[in-house]
A and B are shown apart, each in its own frame.
Chain A
Amino acid sequence: DVKVTQSSRYLVKRTGEKVFLECVQDMDHENMFWYRQDPGLGLRLIYFSYDVKMKEKGDIPEGYSVSREKKERFSLILESASTNQTSMYLCASSKIRDREYEQYFGPGTRLTVT
């Protein structure tokens, strides 16, 4: 089974702190993604990566950065956490197979910024 793990299920940080959310997948997937999910807004894409050291902005990249130094690991960084970044953060990965592919999601990290 594909496994996508996230470093924490729950995290509480203070405003202004630098926050690292880690995601690791064990299936040699090329693609990795970071989403945030908020009530009434659904899942929104923050950043994604097609390969090591490559990154692409999603719909809401402001206030975030990412790092992909190894194929299996994709980190989301909140440079200076703010209360409006309180949210559920979901990581996903996928492998390209012809024109079909399936994204596998981690369990999520519920981040609270106070």
Chain B
Amino acid sequence: DAGVTQSPTHLIKTRGQQVTLRCSPKSGHDTVSWYQQALGQGPQFIFQYYEEEERQRGNFPDRFSGHQFPNYSSELNVNALLLGDSALYLCASSSTWTSGISYNEQFFGPGTRLTVL
């Protein structure tokens, strides 16, 4: 049973560029959440996707956008990169009950380490 997978594992970009990170959820999961983890900090919630729509959003600017595909995989896009965007970007997947309420038991991928120069 494959867990959450993310690609690429590492990425180096320069300021002003755009980046796309990818995530495949754990088998049987339909909800994907994205987090930013700065060095020495806990993960910070960016947004969550369910049924191909953004369901919740944290306190991140519009430069951060996402997408979920019919197979539940997801992308995180960041435009106009800033030095402060350098971080580990984590994807987490979970299941949503038929009532629309999701479990909080999220399973994380290994992350993508983004360095902005």
The answer on A and B forming one complex is no
